[in-house]
């Protein structure tokens, strides 16, 4: 009911439920907190807790609902209570709030490489969340940041992403970076690139052609395996290329 009231922007009703009907039991609690302490206390505990229990998942869904339905009033109320910039930043990236993403990067100096540890997967980054929803502007902004890290599985199973231009100083495309990005059609590789690791582009079934820069030294096993539409691979210069893995 609380989530439905958020969804419909019935904030007076949401506030009533929040203040009067939501209850939380804490072990070793000396006295009951006021009902308005629900999110301030329990959600802060949730943010620090890595156990991923059902209660945590329920609270995460409430936060998801707030962002999914653009309920700005509830966003302000909830996050004034918990004051968690990291959580805000992740959801701005996932739900395509480009102005807020820029604000958090440029003004709040947020750590863009932090990981979302309370998800089912503990290696999720803001870059992955933006890629999963194909939020092109946010992906571009993140990749333009100095010090951005593109880790293994950075865009793993990001099925909607269609094109990407990698940072000009990138030296390695790590293992499974674009694994099963089935809609990815255009990829620009930088002239700084030295290695493409195993399974980096595996199952990217929409890529038709790719240009390999002269800086490349190695291509790992199955880097382009299952790229069913890939018909043309252009090497600018083969002199530095020392190894090509199994395919």
Which band of pLDDT confidence, cut at 50, 70 and 90, is reported for residue 21? low
Q: Which of 94-108, 161-175, 202-216 has the lowest mean pLDDT?
A: 94-108
- Inter-residue contact 139 to 127 (CB < 8 Å): yes
Alpha-carbon distance of 161 to 135, in angstroms, equals 8
Mean pLDDT computed over every residue of the chain:
78
How many other β-carbons are positioned within 10 Å of the β-carbon of residue 118? 19
What is the structure's pLDDT at 222?
97
- Judging by beta carbons within 10 Å of its beta carbon (0-12, 13-18, 19+), is residue 127 exposed, middle or buried? buried
Round to the nearest angstrom and report the end-to-end CA distance of the chain: 53
What is the structure's pLDDT at 209?
95
Question: Does 245 or 95 have the greater pLDDT score?
Answer: 245
What is the structure's pLDDT at 86?
79
Q: How far is CA 245 from CA 181, 199, 216, 219, 225, in A?
A: 21, 10, 13, 6, 11
What is the structure's pLDDT at 134?
95
pTM metric for this prediction: 0.70
Rounded to an integer, the average pLDDT of 111-136 is 83
Tens of pLDDT, residue by residue over 197-245, are 999 999 999 999 999 999 999 999 999 999 999 999 999 999 999 999 9
What is the structure's pLDDT at 116?
77
Rounded to an integer, the average pLDDT of 21-30 is 41
Return the exposure string of 43-82: e unless at least 16 CB atoms fall within 10 Å of the residue's CB, then b: beebbeeeeeeeebeebbebbebbbeeebeebbebbbebb
Model confidence at 155: pLDDT above 90: yes
């Amino acid at each position: 009911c609380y989530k439905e009231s958020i969804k419909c922007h019935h904030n007076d009703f949401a506030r009533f439920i929040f203040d009067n009907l939501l209850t939380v039991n804490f072990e070793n609690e000396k006295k009951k907190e006021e009902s308005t302490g629900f999110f301030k206390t329990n959600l802060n505990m949730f943010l620090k807790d890595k156990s991923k229990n059902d209660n945590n998942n329920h609270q995460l869904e409430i936060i998801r609902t707030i962002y999914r339905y653009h309920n700005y009033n509830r966003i302000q109320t909830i996050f004034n209570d918990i004051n968690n910039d990291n959580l805000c930043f992740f959801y701005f990236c996932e739900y395509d709030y480009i102005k807020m993403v820029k604000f958090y990067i440029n003004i709040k100096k947020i750590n863009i490489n932090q990981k979302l540890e309370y998800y089912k997967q503990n290696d999720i980054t803001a870059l992955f969340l933006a890629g999963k929803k194909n939020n092109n502007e946010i992906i571009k902004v993140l990749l333009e940041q100095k010090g951005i890290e593109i880790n293994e599985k950075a865009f793993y199973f990001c099925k909607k992403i269609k094109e990407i231009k990698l940072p000009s100083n990138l030296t390695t495309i790590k293992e499974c970076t674009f694994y099963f990005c089935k809609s990815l059609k255009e990829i620009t590789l930088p002239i700084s690139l030295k290695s493409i690791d195993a399974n980096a582009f595996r199952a990217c079934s929409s890529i038709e052609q790719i240009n390999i820069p002269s800086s490349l030294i190695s291509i790992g096993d199955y880097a382009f395996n299952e790229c069913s539409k890939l018909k043309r691979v252009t090497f600018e210069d083969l002199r530095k290329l020392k190894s090509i893995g199994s395919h």
